[in-house]
Amino acid sequence: MNESVSVSSFHYLLHPYNTSLVTCCDAEGQPNIIAIAWLVPVSVSPPLVGMSIGPRRHSYKLIQASGEFVINVAPHEIAQQVLFCGRRSGRDVDKFAATGLTPGQARHVRPPIIEECIAHLECRVVQEVEAGDHRLVIGEVLAAYTRPGVLDDNGLYDLSRVHPLLHLGRNRFTSTLAQSTEPQLLT
Ligand X SMILES: Cc1cc2nc3c(=O)[nH]c(=O)nc-3n(C[C@H](O)[C@H](O)[C@H](O)COP(=O)(O)O)c2cc1C
Which residues lie near ligand X (CB under 6 A)? 19, 32, 34-38, 52-54, 57-59, 82-83, 86-91, 134, 167
Find out whether 7 and 13 touch, Cβ atoms under 8 Å. Answer: no
Q: What is the DSSP string of 78-101?
A: GHHHHHHHHHS-TTT--HHHHH-P
Closest distance to ligand X from the beta carbon of 17 (Å): 8
Q: Give whichever of 55 and 180 is closer to ligand X, judged by the CB atom.
A: 55
Q: Give whichever of 37 and 106 is closer to ligand X, judged by the CB atom.
A: 37
Find out whether 44 and 128 touch, Cβ atoms under 8 Å. Answer: no
Q: Give whichever of 77 and 158 is closer to ligand X, judged by the CB atom.
A: 77
d(CA 147, CA 102): 14
Closest distance to ligand X from the beta carbon of 38 (Å): 3
d(CA 102, CA 130): 33
Closest distance to ligand X from the beta carbon of 105 (Å): 22
Q: Give whichever of 83 and 106 is closer to ligand X, judged by the CB atom.
A: 83
Backbone φ and ψ for 175, nearest 5 degrees, come out as -150, -175
Q: Give whichever of 19 and 119 is closer to ligand X, judged by the CB atom.
A: 19
Find out whether 120 and 113 touch, Cβ atoms under 8 Å. Answer: yes
Closest distance to ligand X from the beta carbon of 87 (Å): 6
CB-side neighbour CA atoms (13 Å) of 86: 21
Closest distance to ligand X from the beta carbon of 60 (Å): 7
Q: In what order do the strands lie in the sheet with 17-18?
A: 17-18, 165-169, 172-175
Q: Which position's Cβ is nearest ligand X?
A: 86
